[in-house]
Amino acid sequence: MKYFPRVLPVCRKTEIENGTRVVTLSIPDRDSVAASIWIRAGSRFEPESLSGVSHFLEHMVFKGTRKRSAQRIKETVEGTGGQLNAFTGEESTCFFARVLKPYFPQTLEVLADMVQNAVLDPAEIKREKAVILEEIKMYRDIAAQHVEDMMGEMLWPRHALGRPVSGTQASVRRLGRKELAAYRDQYYHGSNCVVAVAGPVQHEAVVRRVRSLFKGQKKMPESSFDPAGKAPAHPRARFLAKKTGQTHFVIGLHAFSRYDRRRYGLALLSLILGGNMSSRLFEKIREQKGLAYDIRSTSSFYQDTGALLISAGVESSRSRDVIRLILKELDTLTREKVSEGEFRRAKDHFLGQFYMSLEDHLDYLLWAGEHLLYRPELPKPESLRKGIEAVTLSEIRDIARELFDPRRFHLALIGPENARQRDELKKLIKI
C-alpha cells in the first residue's frame, strides 16, 4: 500500500488492582470522547440450559440501577447529544457511548454503574423477555439470518458456538432473575473487563476515574470456556423447506483462529472470493450472470477456531446453478495462482478499509478494546499492516488447497426446493 497514516493515537494500558485493564487512545484534536466497557462473556460461555443469558443480561443492564432509572440512563447520554448502545457476540459483550468532551465523566460513570449495579427487577425481566422472544421470532423469519444460524449448528454441533447468540425461545423462557444475577456475578468482574477510552483524554486521569468507579470489585480468575474441539468428520447438509421468494443458502467450512498467522491470508482470500463488488463471485454470479442480488464471502475468527461462509439469496430454480459456479471458483483458486494485480488490489482494499475505520475514534476504540480483552499486548495497527503485506501468492493458494476440499464443505439451505432438488444439491456438493 502506498499510503498509511504517519501519526496514530498514543495507546497506553494500565491494569488496576481488581484486574480491570484500562486502555486509552489519546486524540487531542477531537471534540468528542468514546468510551467502552468490554466483558469477557458471550454465548460460548453459556451452558445449553442458559443459552441466550449473555444477550438477555446485556438488555437488562439498560433497565435501571439503584441510582438511575432506565429513562435517566438514556437521557443522561442521549439528552446531551450522545450515543449509547451495546452488543453481544460469541466471546464478548460490549457497552459503549460517545459524547462531547464535557459530558465524558458522567457518561463513564453511567456505564460503570450499569455493568455493576443493574437491579434486574423481576417485572422488567418479564417485559424484556417478551421483547427478546419477539426478536428471536424476527430473526427466524429472516431467512438470510436463520440459514447462518443453521450453519453454526452444523459447524459446531452440541457446542455453545453452534447456538444462536440470542438463545432459543425455550431457553430464554427459563431465564429469570436468579440465573441473570448469578451469571453477572460470575463474569462481570475486573479480570474479565477492559475499559477503553478514545479522544482528548489523559491516560492517568482516566485510570484514576476507573479506579474510583470500580473500587468495590475484588480480583477474580479470568473466565474460561469449553474448547471448540475437532471439526465434524464428514460434510453435512441441512434443509428447511419454506415458501420463500428466494432460496437462501450458506456453504460453510472450518478455518483458523484469531491467533493463527494464516488468518491474514484467509482474510485476503475471502475478500478476493466474495468480499466486495470487485470480487470474483460478485462479478461472475451477479454482474455477468444476473443470478443473485446478494452474494458474499465472510470469515470469522474465534479464540480457538474460525469459519469461512459463502452465502447467497437466489431464485429457487437457479440455486443449483449458483452453487455449481461457486464450487467451480473454489476449485479454480486451488489450482491457479491469483494474479499480481488482483492480489495487490485485495491488500490495498483491506488496508484502506482498516485505516479509514481508524479515522472514527469509536471504531478505533472498539477494535482496540476487543484486542485487549484476550491479548496481553497493546493493539498496533502497524502489526496488522505487516501481517497483511507479508502474505504471498503461494500462501493464498496453499490456504485455498487446505480449505477448499469438498470433504470440508457443509450446506445449509432455506427455500421451497422439493426432495428431488435437495438430493441433486447433495450430489452436487458431494454430501
- Report which of 223, 171, 226, 162 is spatially closest to residue 53, judged by C-alpha positions: 171
Active site residue 58: yes
Element (H, E) at 235: none
- Interacting residues of 47 by C-beta distance below 8 A, sequence separation 6+: 160
DSSP string for residues in 113-159: HHHHHB---HHHHHHHHHHHHHHHHHHHHSHHHHHHHHHHHHHSTTS
Residue-level length of the chain:
431
Quick one: 141 exposed, middle or buried, by C-beta within 10 A (0-12, 13-18, 19+)? exposed
C-alpha pair distances (Å), 175 with each of 116, 178, 282, 349, 427: 20, 8, 43, 44, 42
127, 60 in Cβ contact below 8 A?
no
C-alpha pair distances (Å), 378 with each of 31, 208, 352: 25, 20, 21
C-alpha pair distances (Å), 413 with each of 99, 150, 406: 43, 8, 17
Q: How far apart are CA 162 and CA 298, in angstroms?
A: 17
Q: How far apart are CA 363 and CA 375, in angstroms?
A: 18
Q: How far apart are CA 177 and CA 123, in angstroms?
A: 10
10, 16 in Cβ contact below 8 A?
no
3-state helix, strand, coil in the chain (%, to 5): 50, 20, 30
User: Per residue, what are the HEC states of 185-218?
Assistant: HHHCCHHHEEEEEEECCCHHHHHHHHHHHCCCCC
Which position has the grid cell 494474479?
A: 339
Of 58, 90, 124, 148, which residue is the catalytic one? 58
Element (H, E) at 310: strand 306-314
Grouping H, G, I as helix, E, B as strand and the rest as coil, residue 175 is coil
Mind telling me the catalytic residues? 58
